Amino acid sequence: MRHRTGLPLILVACLALTSTARAASQNCEAWTAGLEDDEGGPTMTAGVCNSRLEPPGQIRVQCGGEGALMLRYLPGGKAPYPGDGFETDASFTDGTTTVVAHLLLEAMDGALTTAVTAGSPLEVLLAKGSSLTIAPARAGLKQETFTLKKSSAALSKLKASCR
């Protein structure tokens, strides 16, 4: 008797991942906020992507600890990642105001994370202006620019869900 391989199942999984990646890249024109699947289940997330790179870079903001948000930056392109324990400072700028934040690598998915406290200069910067450039200080990570269109509305929706 001949056994079937899992090839059709693998093909379906690959197509689903490709569709998910395409769907994520479609919100590159403006920030959005909504429920996204996370390790712990559906999580309210505000974010945007940068379609100028492949794969697209992403900014994802979620509820953090009390009075804070958690910013997750997933650099686009083929950025090389060192192992666990990687950290770097990064400049966040709208061309007028620059805020430096310390980013820590979450090796599981390659996100660089930082806490954003309520009313902090970084939170204010994320909610105004027309674009935001992130420039990591460590070599090998390139600067990347994201739109801030509709960021204020997306972040307000996210913060309302954090209460």
Domain boundaries along the sequence of the chain: 29-161
Q: What Å distances lie between residue 143 and 34, 89, 90, 122, 134, CA to CA?
A: 27, 12, 9, 17, 5
- Confidence band of 81 (pLDDT split at 50, 70, 90): low
Mean pLDDT, the chain, whole residue set? 84
Q: What is the pLDDT of residues 11-49, one digit of tens each?
A: 333 333 433 443 444 579 999 999 998 888 899 999 999
Residue 133: half-sphere exposure toward Cβ, Cα within 13 Å: 10
Q: First and final CA of the chain: distance in angstroms?
A: 59
CATH number of this structure's domain 29-161: 2.60.40.1880
Q: How many CB atoms lie within 10 A of CB 64?
A: 17
Query: What pTM value is reported for the model?
Result: 0.81
